[in-house]
Amino acid sequence: MDKGRKGQNGWGWVLLIGSTLAIYWLQAPLAPRFADTLLPTATLALAVLGWLLTRPPDAAARQTTWPEDRLTLFVLFALVVGMAFNRYLDGAYRLTASRPPSPWLTAVALLLLGGFVLLIARLTDRADQRRVLTGSIVLVVGLFVVLKSAPLATAAAQFWRSLSGQNPSLAAPADLAWLGFSYVAFRLIHTLRDRQTGLLPHLSLREYVTYIIFAPAFIAGPIDRAERFVQDIRALPQLVVLDAARFGEAGLRIAAGLFKKLVIADSLAQGMSLTAVNATQVTSPLALWALLYGYALRLYFDFAGYTDIAIGVGLLLGIRLPENFNRPYLQTNITTFWQSWHMTLSSWARFYVFTPLSRTLLRRKPRPSPTLIVFIAQIATMTTIGLWHGLTWTFLIWGLWHGVGLFIHKQWSDRTRRWYRALEGKPGQKRAWALFGWFITFHFVVVGWVWFLLPDVDQAAATFAKLLGIGW
């Protein structure tokens, strides 16, 4: 065996174990008792349940991975119980944010949970798969709604606190700041939906759980597709661990990400970008615009920097995560902006909201007008993206802002296509038009961030008016 490939069959296990440890380690401390240990455990439980629900119905196919799946279950069980042993470590050395419950209690609870999950799997095997998968998607969305809605999250936190003998009146939405859940939910929905449509390949439990919790992409994406991710996982046995080219590319990517995040974004965060606080303190429209530009740049460099780091770390581990940004602020229309900003989220929304909704509307009798179909689908897609960030009016308005923008651009480009093509022979005019398009697009996006950033509609509307010189 080639030296560089020695022992590569274990690399997939390294990814699973490392990612499992990472989701406990990265989870911030939470006030409700054991929440910062139980929520990562719930992530794993959801991943196992997701795998059970998305297995192919063919028993023979299931059998092919069963020995490895059994071992994976044991490894996960051992890891979760092992995490509980952090209980006996000093706070400085713990992997968990706070003291976890006792290992024995954890083991018993896991066995009961495992039994419950298996029971569900048995019952759902006999049920109508389409309904089971739809019901599962609805449950994931329901859980998402509870966590993203301040009143519901507070009520859930109150319930948790009352169970653990804590003061329920101190409950707050931040009590259930479940690390990575937004992305986990999208991955779960993607696999459940792709099982419904038959697009999902058969994944082993190890592959599925690693896909759901892959550490570099766990907190803030990118949102990979399972069928793409698993190709890399399956290619791991051929991976040359110490591949200089891969390391070089990964190193450059991580360095670029660190520069974007720590130098540019964090500098802009030091009083050079708009915040909910300084939005009420600014003394002139010019200053407000300057801070808003700062915020727009900060948001991009922060997120793009994080993504670069995630992609770079992924490369080191042998997984090539998808790109998430492609010079979004240089785009000349809002459609290409959304094809280059948080690309994996927008393509997810296109795949699971826009396309199915458009098809459903096209099949309706009588069929609505194409314009109405596009309008409804774009508004629904962008409000989904908006509300994914949080169930608030301001995120809803932000989603609508972009939905309307995309719709208007679609109508405009449909009606001006011939004229635009005629610009091919007039490079000067085409450049001027591109510059104008960039200016309008950039400012449309930048002004839209007001709704994204500010926590309530009144403040956002007042800030919006101030940008236009009103209300000083």
Would you say 94 or 320 has its CB closer to other proteins?
Answer: 320
Give me the least distance between CB of 420 and other proteins, in Å please: 33
Would you say 142 or 271 has its CB closer to other proteins?
Answer: 271
Give me the least distance between CB of 267 and other proteins, in Å please: 6
Would you say 226 or 250 has its CB closer to other proteins?
Answer: 250
3-state secondary structure of 56: coil
Measured at the alpha carbon of residue 359, what is the angle toward residues 142 and 347, in degrees to the nearest 5?
60
Within 10 Å of residue 425's Cβ, how many Cβ atoms? 8
For 163-227, what is the HEC assignment? HCCCCHHHCCHHHHCCCCHHHHHHHHHHHHHHHHHCCCCCCCHHHHHHHHHCHHHCCCCCCCCHH
- Say whether residue 121 binds other proteins (CB under 8 A): no
Which residues in the 164-203 window bind other proteins by CB under 8 A? none
Which residues in the 261-320 window bind other proteins by CB under 8 A? 267, 270-272, 277-278, 281-284, 287-288, 290-291, 294
Give me the least distance between CB of 456 and other proteins, in Å please: 20
Would you say 197 or 270 has its CB closer to other proteins?
Answer: 270
Give me the least distance between CB of 281 and other proteins, in Å please: 4
Burial class (CB in 10 A: 0-12, 13-18, 19+), 321: buried
Give Cβ neighbours of residue 365 (< 8 Å, ≥ 6 apart). Answer: none
Give Cβ neighbours of residue 99 (< 8 Å, ≥ 6 apart). Answer: 86, 87
Cα end-to-end span (Å), the chain: 73
Alpha carbon of 385 to those of 3, 307, 313, 325: distances in Å? 47, 18, 26, 16
Give Cβ neighbours of residue 271 (< 8 Å, ≥ 6 apart). Answer: 278
Cα atoms in the Cβ-side hemisphere of radius 13 Å centred on 123: 9
Within 10 Å of residue 3's Cβ, how many Cβ atoms? 8
Measured at the alpha carbon of residue 395, what is the angle toward residues 391 and 397, in degrees to the nearest 5?
125
409 noted as active-site residue: no
Would you say 293 or 451 has its CB closer to other proteins?
Answer: 293
Would you say 283 or 369 has its CB closer to other proteins?
Answer: 283
Which residues in the 206-265 window bind other proteins by CB under 8 A? 242, 244-249, 251
Give Cβ neighbours of residue 451 (< 8 Å, ≥ 6 apart). Answer: 394, 395, 397, 398, 401, 460, 464
Which residues in the 19-58 window bind other proteins by CB under 8 A? none
Give me the least distance between CB of 341 and other proteins, in Å please: 23
Give me the least distance between CB of 15 and other proteins, in Å please: 20
Alpha carbon of 308 to those of 18, 239, 304: distances in Å? 20, 21, 6
The count of chain residues that interact with other proteins, using the rule CB under 8 A, is 23
Alpha carbon of 245 to those of 232, 242, 267, 305, 319: distances in Å? 17, 9, 32, 21, 14
Closest by CA position to 15, among listed 334, 322, 232:
232
Closest by CA position to 42, among listed 152, 146, 172, 125:
146
Give me the least distance between CB of 28 and other proteins, in Å please: 19
Among 190, 202, 342, 389, which one carries the catalytic annotation? 389
Give me the least distance between CB of 459 and other proteins, in Å please: 15
Give Cβ neighbours of residue 4 (< 8 Å, ≥ 6 apart). Answer: 240, 241, 242, 243
Would you say 114 or 251 has its CB closer to other proteins?
Answer: 251
Would you say 66 or 472 has its CB closer to other proteins?
Answer: 472
Give me the least distance between CB of 311 and other proteins, in Å please: 13
Would you say 17 or 290 has its CB closer to other proteins?
Answer: 290
Residues annotated as part of the active site: 389
Residue ranges that bind other proteins, judged by CB under 8 A? 242, 244-249, 251, 267, 270-272, 277-278, 281-284, 287-288, 290-291, 294
